[in-house]
Structure 1
Amino acid sequence: MDFLVLLVHGSLLWAVIYAILCCIAVILFWELFSPLHAFPGPPAARFTNIWRAMVTASGHVDQANIKWHRTYGSAVRVGPNTISINDPELIRTIYATKNPWPKSDMYRTNDVLINGVRLSNLFNTQDNHWHDTYMNPIRSLWTMTKVLDMESLIDETLNKFTAKMDVKFADVEHNCMMDEWLGYFAWDVMANISFGKHYGFIDEERDVENLIADSTKGLYYFAPISQIPWLDCLLDKNLIKRIGPKPTLTGVNYAIDVVTTYHQALGSGSGRVEHYLDKYVKLKEAHPKIMDDNQVVNYLMLNILAGGDTTSSTMRAVVYYLSKNTSAYQKLISELDAANFSLPAKWRDIRKLTYLDAVVQEALRINPGIAMILERVVPQSGFTLPDGRFIPGGTAIGINPAVTNRNVDVFGQDADHFNPDRWLKKDEENEEEFRDRCRKMKDVASFVFGGGNRVCMGRNLAILEIYKLFATLYSLFDIKLVNNDHSWKYHNAWFVYQYNIPMTVSRRVKT
């Protein structure tokens, strides 16, 4: 009997050993014969995407990407079939306007599942032809000229915001959690220009209907799961029991309600405001084959979910870094006082303010609102890097704006530090040298809005909104961290969310 037990146990032991040896053999075979063998990277990332998913879930994958490139070089293998690139010169190639490389499967996690049907949107679709077909009708609506038609609507929200800052914080000297309030402002601006009314965040001083919270939960899910996209089929997109947050679902439902209410208001003879919902509905006449209420919802969903988070991320960076940099703060205040414009600030009066521009450009650079690898798929013919290494077709490849924005060849040896002066002309530069250097920096830093045919359509609105806010806000108030040694907390979940920014707000006394 004892002999039989030993025999069974021995067989099990050898079976385990055999299984382990087989796994090692498969791993070694994959390592030795993988077409990406020549690309260095974190050891675990060569065999599994679990590693980068875990790093992404930590909320600081941008810092990890920067570290990996400084350790391993210009092309880093971050997954079995994924390469991260840090060469700014390749932005126009990977994110081309003509014959664009398709988005990778990572974006499919952002699909929404409604009544068992999986629906893509303009942000995440991998079909470039479908994207262009549905983008073409609205491209002209997002030029700076057309966005400026909305300036009065931005002013309405800006007046609400500054009035609340005045009464709630400057009058009673309460600390302001600026991270929350800038989110309220950015989301209410987007609501007002999208469908002519505010969500009510500023008025009610809270996250109405949990729109911000639900959006944030959706991105906290999207970021790590997008690194192993097939997991989404088992979690959010399974038809039996859906697990986890519902990416984009809250935004879709809100957009559906808005469109329904809009049509009811028209039927009752309510007045019409020239906001984006109104513009989108009018497109049904010009493009009847592709435009219906479902497509209007698709357009509005991007307004609702993307416009608030990315813009507020940059806004938080501006107030935080200015509070940390007394010199930059004083230079901005001096420029605003000298300009002596009416409030709320108008674009025509502030668009050529050089230091305001420098502050905003530097905030976008040092703290990009999107700070993960924007993955694309290499064409079947493959792609040869400038150093001669070949990447086969079908490989996922991409650039993280947080990485290229710290490139010392483009931005200087202090690229890791907030320094708006880098955007100003140096004493030793002539005008042509300054223009060339500044153009190169802007070409790279503007990648925070994406590139090629998939560039963010709301970038002009974001710039307008941010410039107007800070020209107005810093003309009226002194805004400083409660404790200048305080450090914020942030979580990178595709969009960068910063937290815990307590600030004092006091009325300015101009000298």
Structure 2
Amino acid sequence: MDFLVHGPLFWAVICAVLCCIAIIIFWELFSPLHAFPGPPAARYTNIWRALVAASGHVDQTNIEWHRTYGSAVRVAPNTISINDPELIRTIYATKNPWPKSDMYRPNDVLINGVRLSNLFNTQDNDWHDTYMNPIRSLWTMTKVLDMESLIDETLNRFTTKLGAKFADVGNKCMMDEWLGYFAWDVMANISFGKHYGFIDEEKDVKNLIVDSTKGLYYFAPISQIPWLDHLLDKNPIKRIGPKPTLTGVNYAIDVVTTYNRVLGTRGDRAENYLDKYVKLKEAHPKIMDDNQVVNYLMLNILAGGDTTSSTMRAVVYYLSKNTSAYRKLISELDAANLSLPAQWKDIRKLTYLDAVIQEALRINPGIAMIFERVAPQSGFTLPDGRFIPGGTAVGINPAVTNRNVDVFGQDADQFNPDRWLKKDEESDEGFRDRCRKMKDVASFVFGGGNRVCMGRNLAILEIYKLFATLYSLFDIELVNNNHAWKYHNAWFVYQYNIPMTVSRRVKA
């Protein structure tokens, strides 16, 4: 017993403990990030934030961390989260942008043993700009409006289905599912000139939504420890776990392969993105081929449906919870006397519709994790004087800046579309400045600088048209106004369990 207590094993344990304590003390005193407070465990391991991401509520946790630790929080051994809206334009610059961190690498797709990046996740800004330039002009609002008739086709199918299946017979509508069907079918129609069939078949066709969701449930925690992806999805022996982008890539490959045979004859219908991308092969032969067309279309498939449906769910949910806002929107739409489906030229200046959608984007951003970038080698000094060394991962979570009370007021945690309206005592100039500042911050959900989401104009068009049309035709309410939805933040924010009643409106 004495040997065990005072022998070599005893002293080995003591030495190991003392070494651990020494390492911790050294790390605390001499770490280049020691000046940044944060959760204690986050100083030593990425496991902590991976577990937080896996919980599905990392946005709320990030908000709480900033309210506890301040404007710059150390969320991992080499990662700083920022809550300073003024730094959005610096970290996410258009000129000399900070590169993306390794967190995006798990979004690569592995095909035939080859790991392929895409426009969303590539860390090479020069590569991104080279392949973005040919299609950049196709995503301006002017070009997106060329396809408004394709959105109208899907809108008509959607409202007809809501009327027949729910409004006319009194069935309960799980609005979370149906808004997903609509968003995905819109994206298919403007991308390929045909619908996936979610609305018509009333289900997730080919498990596209399920597979996409599984991929993001994988991506969210693994992106916090990205080297794990080499052992799981990208290992060369046996791939483990969901394949983050494989379903979307395979679908795009099938569409491009059959394009000339199935979709090449289109009559007088508006051009879709497949048409537009295929034409680019002639104008840009050095970089454009069928593989690149697939690369472009993959982003349409994987990003367009989930992000917009997240905002759509927020609109119907929060309007059902806020009777005053609901009535103001209905009053504005009735006064506008819109032709249906609502046209952009008629709704783009509807003040309260804009306020409702801006507020939904703000309080429930469709993407709500830290957009990580890597600080330049020269490092960066924060406005408060603290220095961030070069190579440090730095980022902002739009869910955090969207609750910034200095920008949005003391009620930043509340759904209040009126914040986007001119106050009685406010000058015109003061209102313009305040509104511009809020929009600059809230629009960060689409990213910033040279990596801003190319589909943001399409998302805005689609969402505004949907709700101008939907609330002109129907009254939509939660089955129980006290009901609370469930949500899971997995990079994209997924909301579930939104049972609603749909009834045809009788205008006064």
Correspondence for 2:194: 197
Q: Summarize the Cα distance change of 1:172–1:43 in structure 2 as closer, same or farther, 3 Å threshold.
A: same
Q: Distance in 1 between matches of 2:24 and 2:219?
A: 28
Counterpart of 1:394 in structure 2: which amino acid?
G
Counterpart of 1:27 in structure 2: which amino acid?
I
Correspondence for 1:253: 250
Correspondence for 1:135: 132
Q: TM-score, normalised on structure 1? A: 0.97
Q: How far did residue 266 of structure 1 move?
A: 6.4
SS of 1:251 mapped into structure 2: helix
Provide Cα deviations, 1:313-353, integer angstroms capped at 9, x if missing partner: 00000000000000000000000000001111000111100
Provide Cα deviations, 1:289-322, integer angstroms capped at 9, x if missing partner: 0000000000000000000000000000000000
Correspondence for 2:229: 232
Correspondence for 1:299: 296
Counting matched residue pairs gives: 507
**More displaced 10-residue stretch of structure 1: 355-364 or 272-281:** 272-281
SS of 2:164 mapped into structure 1: helix
1:73 matched to 2:70? The reply is yes
Which among 426, 430, 434 is matched to residue 431 of structure 2? 434
Q: How far did residue 32 of structure 1 move?
A: 1.6
Q: Distance in 2 between matches of 1:344 and 1:236?
A: 43
Q: Distance in 1 between matches of 2:255 and 2:405?
A: 46
1:470 matched to 2:491? The reply is no
Q: Distance in 1 between matches of 2:84 and 2:266?
A: 54
SS of 2:354 mapped into structure 1: helix
SS of 2:258 mapped into structure 1: helix
Gaps of 5+ in 2: none
Does the 8 Å contact 2:98/2:374 carry over to 1?
Answer: yes
Segments of 4+ moved more than 3 angstroms:
6-14, 269-273
Counterpart of 2:23 in structure 1: which amino acid?
V
Does the 8 Å contact 1:272/1:278 carry over to 2?
Answer: no
Counterpart of 1:253 in structure 2: which amino acid?
N
1:213 matched to 2:210? The reply is yes
Counterpart of 1:129 in structure 2: which amino acid?
D
Correspondence for 2:415: 418
Q: Distance in 2 between matches of 1:14 and 1:461?
A: 67
Correspondence for 2:145: 148
Q: Distance in 2 between matches of 1:286 and 1:480?
A: 50
Counterpart of 2:416 in structure 1: which amino acid?
N
Q: TM-score, normalised on structure 2? A: 0.98
Q: How far did residue 17 of structure 1 move?
A: 3.4
Which among 470, 482, 503 is matched to residue 506 of structure 1? 503
Q: Distance in 2 between matches of 1:7 and 1:266?
A: 78
**More displaced 10-residue stretch of structure 1: 292-301 or 258-267:** 258-267
Q: Distance in 1 between matches of 2:74 and 2:142?
A: 42
Correspondence for 2:84: 87
Provide Cα deviations, 1:84-122, integer angstroms capped at 9, x if missing partner: 000000000000000000000000011111111111000
Q: How far did residue 261 of structure 1 move?
A: 1.0
Which among 311, 315, 338 is matched to residue 314 of structure 1? 311
Does the 8 Å contact 2:4/2:10 carry over to 1?
Answer: no
Correspondence for 2:341: 344
Q: How does 1:166-185 map to 2 (within 5 A)?
A: 166-185=163-182
Q: Distance in 2 between matches of 1:57 and 1:334?
A: 42
Correspondence for 2:384: 387
Correspondence for 1:99: 96
Q: How far did residue 12 of structure 1 move?
A: 3.3
Q: Distance in 2 between matches of 1:85 and 1:416?
A: 18
Correspondence for 2:276: 279
Q: Summarize the Cα distance change of 1:173–1:32 in structure 2 as closer, same or farther, 3 Å threshold.
A: same
Gaps of 5+ in 1: none
Q: What is the Cα-based RMSD across aligned positions, in Å?
A: 1.4
Q: How does 1:33-52 map to 2 (within 5 A)?
A: 33-52=30-49
Q: How far did residue 449 of structure 1 move?
A: 0.4
